[in-house]
Amino acid sequence: MHALALTLLAFALHDSAIAAQKGQISAAYVVEVAGVQMLKMSYDAAFTENTYQSAAAMKTKGMAGLFSDYKMDMTAMGAVSGNDARPSRFTSRAEKNDKDKTTELIWRDGKPPTVDPGLDADDERLLGDAVTANLVDPLSMVMRMTALQRGQPCRTVERVFDGKEVYDLSFELKGKVTIGSGEGSYRGQAYKCSVTYTPVAGRAAAKFRKKGLGPQKFDIWFAPARAATDGAVFIPVLATGKLKGFSFVAYASKAAIDGVKLGSDSATAD
């Protein structure tokens, strides 16, 4: 669920400090497990030729809120260089049952990101030398996958660091399809992609290896949208798979590009 949520996170960015914006993405999602609503998420991002800034939030919903009151907010900013997002700062705050923890990553001078508060001895040992300067945070990874793709999406492997674990998300393009009636609000052309989540370092990776677990896999559909940029922006609108044996579906309840609803003629790319 963690990898899925970070991949699909809806982006809630308000009053962006970025001047002369070239593009804005906004979306909201619902995640259902075994037919029951479990999470709601929101995503917005703003980017120019040289910079980006985004924020995301997710919260337990429906029956899940009866057993665990969980909320996470994240923000990220950095530089755009061609089709690459280079993070400078990432902050996440998680709240669960009246307890909260804030983590901040800062990239400086081409060095591996620093983590505040610092890692304990066990985390440092388990992460080892896997934390390198070229890692991206979860939101910067999303920026790469949505706004900075060229041509078709899902032709990359992204190595991500969230302050606790390093993991790979491998994207493989399965083809172009048409989404009709069903879950969510989007109808129209989309690219179906297979995503494989593999822990690399950290506590999750240690557990993964100890239990001999296989990588988690799920499918995501990206809708191509027009923006005030060159080329298309790809917005995730649907995801399906299994979590601990239970089927899940995550879908966009609303999405817009530059303030225009996704799916309208003026928002959808050819």
Q: What is the pLDDT along the chain (270 residues), one digit of tens a residue?
A: 445 555 554 333 333 333 334 678 888 999 888 778 888 899 888 888 889 999 999 888 765 544 557 789 999 999 988 778 899 999 999 888 778 899 999 999 889 999 999 999 999 999 999 999 999 999 999 888 887 776 778 888 999 999 999 999 999 999 999 998 766 778 889 999 999 999 999 999 999 899 888 888 999 999 988 766 556 788 899 999 887 677 889 999 988 888 888 875 555 665
Number of residues that this document lists for the chain: 270
Question: Which pTM value belongs to this model?
Answer: 0.84
* Burial (CB count <10 Å: 0-12, 13-18, 19+), residue 60: buried
Q: Which of 82, 86, 75 shows the shortest CA–CA distance to 108?
A: 86
Q: How far apart are CA 178 and CA 237, in angstroms?
A: 12
Give, in order, the Cα–Cα distances in Å from 211 to each of 61, 127, 132. 30, 18, 26
Other residues' Cβ atoms within 10 Å of the Cβ of residue 22: 19
Residue 63 and residue 38 in contact, taking contact as beta carbons nearer than 8 Å: yes
